[in-house]
Amino acid sequence: MATAASIGHSTRKAKSHEKPHITHAALLKLGHDWVDSTGGEFKGDEACGCEPAHYAIRYSGSNKIDMAGINHSSELAPVDIPIAFNDDGTYTGDGEGAFVAGGTAAGCSEQSTTKVKFRVSGNATETSEEQALHLELEYPAPMIFDFSGECADEPDGGHLSLHKDIR
């Protein structure tokens, strides 16, 4: 069965072109009034609000272990991971940061830093029924791990240093 539109006919009435309900002089006055309301001069820049927005996922973390003589804490200062959206609402981004850690156990102390890369991906949904952001976070290789430790009770001072590139 063919529809009217598929055979070149339209059942919609053509809209007549109506003149605006405001005169040219009144339109100009609205523009001048707006400029006057901003202090009498244009406040924008060359982009005039037409630059793309920049978004980032801010990620931070910490953990603490305190049990049976083992004390350890690790912290990742806030890291902004820039993301770029696709037209379908999905996004991706890459960033990097460092977990700084330290602790004590059995008369020994340790300090370490783990430099990591982050990859985020996901999708954003924004409708009248749902507003949601789905996020996936990955730690792609490599990770760079630096460790130093010392045990005071050891005869030689018990110093240990380690650098490891984890792939």
At 108 the three-state DSSP class reads: strand
> Which whole number is the average pLDDT over 99-110?
92
pLDDT, position 47:
66
What percent of the chain has pLDDT above 90?
44
What percent of the chain has pLDDT above 70?
83
pLDDT, position 14:
56
Measured between alpha carbons, how far is 57 from 61 in angstroms, rounded to an integer?
13
> Which whole number is the average pLDDT over 82-97?
93
pLDDT, position 46:
67
Lowest average pLDDT, out of 37-51, 58-72, 87-101, goes to 37-51
> Which whole number is the average pLDDT over 92-115?
94
pLDDT, position 2:
29
The confidence band for 49, taking pLDDT boundaries of 50, 70 and 90, is low
CA distances from 101 to 92, 126, 156 (A): 28, 39, 24
Contacts of 34 (CB under 8 A, 6+ apart): none
Q: Are 81 and 118 in contact (CB under 8 A)?
A: yes
Amino acid letter, residue 76: L
